[in-house]
C-alpha cells in the first residue's frame, strides 16, 4: 500500500530571491551531430571568461541543438567575436547575442520535492507580462533570465508571490 501526501502552502516559502544585472545572453544554434565539437569550443571559452552564470542546452528538434550561455557583459565581446569566426564555415549554425539581460534566482528548499512550485513562478511572471528569455531549474534553485527592462518588475512579482520567512 502506497501513501501519497500533498502539502500545500498558502504562499510558497523560499529562502531568498535575488537578481543579478547587466549580463549578456549568447544563443548558439547548431546541428545536433555537432554537440561534442561545440562542447569543446565552449570548454575553451571558459578559460577566457570569469564564469558562466548559467548554461542551458536543449534540442529544439532531433536535428538541432540550442545552447544558451549567460555571462558578464564585459566578457561578451570576446565570446561574440570568437563565435562569429567559428560559425563562418559551419552550415546550419547561427549565433545571436542579447544584452543587457538580468537573471532572477529563487533558492530552496528542495523544489524537486514540492510539486508545482515552478508552475507557480512561471504563471506569476507570465500573468504579469514578464518575458522569460531562458529558464532553468535544479534541486533547490530556479533561474529566470529576463530583459533588463523587465527584471525589476519580475523581481517584485516573485517577491509578492513567494514568502521569504525571516528570523528575529
CA atoms within 13 A of residue 67's CA, in its CB half-sphere = 22
C-alpha 41, offset from chain centre: 20
Q: Rounded to whole angstroms, how far apart are CA atoms 150 and 66?
A: 24
- Closest residue by Cα to residue 60 from 96, 93, 29, 37: 29
Q: Supply the pTM of this predicted model.
A: 0.85
pLDDT single digits (tens) 27-60: 999 999 998 888 888 887 777 677 888 888 888 7
Query: Looking at the predicted structure, is the pLDDT value of residue 79 above 70?
Result: yes
Q: Which helix (H) or strand (E) holds 127?
A: helix 117-127
pLDDT of residue 131: 97
Q: Rounded to whole angstroms, how far apart are CA atoms 42 and 83?
A: 9
How far from 27 is each of 18, 76, 86, 133, 142, CA to CA, in Å? 23, 12, 14, 10, 20
- For the beta sheet containing 16-31, the strands, ordered from the edge strand earlier in sequence to the opposite edge, are 52-61, 64-72, 16-31, 94-107, 141-147, 134-138
As given in the structure block, the three cell numbers for residue 148 are: 533588463
Q: Rounded to whole angstroms, how far apart are CA atoms 58 and 65?
A: 6
Provide the sign of the torsion angle of the four alpha carbons 117, 120, 124, 130, taken in this order.
Answer: positive
pLDDT of residue 104: 97
pLDDT single digits (tens) 145-156: 999 999 999 999
Q: Rounded to whole angstroms, how far apart are CA atoms 53 and 30?
A: 21
Amino acid at each position: 500500500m502506497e501513501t501519497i501526501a500533498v502539502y500545500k502552502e498558502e504562499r510558497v516559502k523560499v529562502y531568498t530571491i535575488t537578481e543579478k544585472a547587466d549580463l549578456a545572453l549568447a544563443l548558439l544554434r547548431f546541428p545536433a551531430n555537432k554537440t561534442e565539437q561545440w562542447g569543446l569550443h565552449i570548454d575553451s571559452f571558459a578559460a577566457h571568461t570569469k564564469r558562466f552564470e548559467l548554461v542551458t542546452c536543449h534540442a529544439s528538434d532531433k536535428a538541432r541543438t540550442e545552447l544558451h550561455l549567460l555571462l558578464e557583459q564585459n566578457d561578451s565581446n570576446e565570446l561574440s567575436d570568437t563565435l562569429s569566426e567559428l560559425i563562418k564555415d559551419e552550415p546550419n549554425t547561427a549565433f545571436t547575442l542579447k544584452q543587457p539581460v538580468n537573471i532572477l534566482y529563487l533558492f530552496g528548499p528542495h523544489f524537486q520535492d514540492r510539486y508545482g512550485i515552478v508552475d507557480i513562478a512561471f504563471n506569476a511572471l507570465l500573468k504579469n507580462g514578464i518575458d522569460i528569455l531562458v529558464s532553468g531549474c535544479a534541486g533547490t534553485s530556479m533561474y529566470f533570465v529576463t530583459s533588463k527592462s523587465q527584471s525589476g518588475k519580475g523581481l517584485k512579482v516573485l517577491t509578492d508571490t513567494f514568502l521569504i520567512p525571516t528570523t528575529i
